Structure 1
């Protein structure tokens, strides 16, 4: 009985590996009952997400909702204070910022976009929520 158990366990692990590999490289549609339209995981990040520029060294981008309200998460290898500077210096897009529980929360001038910057290992996680198109 023990050899049969080991054989089943090995096949189960192999199947999980195949499913995990397939899932991490494919576009996955969310259930139609949810307002989230798509979920996409990618190692490379686009240059922009709506009107928000993304750091060139951003990676592990995950788009949780491509349609408004839209959201994206990415990893940046810099400390949260450096990422905060990236989004506040040299641009007038984000003016309001506050620190809540070791996270920086930035809001755009027109309140259409919120960024949350938090420490993540040796870098930072940046969560971007776009609720409406930028109002000029």
Structure 2
């Protein structure tokens, strides 16, 4: 359910980005930045050497996706070392899902080529 929610949310955001006004101005500008990714996102750490960061965070709930060259287990271990034991840790459809702060902070780690895609969802700061 969580995967479907995150993917649906990201898909809807990308779909909105493809629509334009009659004057060909984008409604929503989503661009890939080559800038350095942040070290943290709403107090959740970001793996070193993160790249292709996409933040959707004007207000909470907020999300960010990024890619690393680490495998899923190494990426999960990073979060477990930095954040402590997750309140919930499970593998759903090949993705590692870590939930913190009563499910208000969620990290989803998916295999992606030779590395991993990390999706962070922050529902609230509680």
Q: TM-score, normalised by structure 2?
A: 0.70
Higher RCO (CA-CA < 8 Å; seq separation 6+): 2
Name 2:47's counterpart in structure 1. Answer: 55
User: Residues 114 and 122 from structure 1, CA distance in 2 versus in 1: closer, same or farther, beyond 3 angstroms?
Assistant: same
Match of 2:57 among 65, 77, 82: 65
Q: 1:1-136, aligned counterparts within 5 Å?
A: 30=28, 39=30, 41-43=32-34, 44-92=36-84, 94-133=86-125, 135=126
Deviation at 1:92, TM superposition (A): 2.3
Unaligned runs of 5+ in 1: 1-27, 31-37
Native 8 Å contact 1:40 1:63 kept in 2: no
Structure 1 range deviating more: 41-50 or 112-121: 41-50
| 8 Å contact kept, 1:39–1:65 | no
The CA deviation at 1:110 is: 2.6
Instruction: With the length of structure 1 as denominator, give the TM-score of the two structures.
Output: 0.66
Unaligned runs of 5+ in 2: 1-25
Structure number with larger C-alpha Rg: 1
- Paired positions, count: 100
Alpha-carbon distance in 1 for matches of 2:27, 2:79: 31
CA-based RMSD of the aligned residues comes to: 2.0
More strand by share: 1
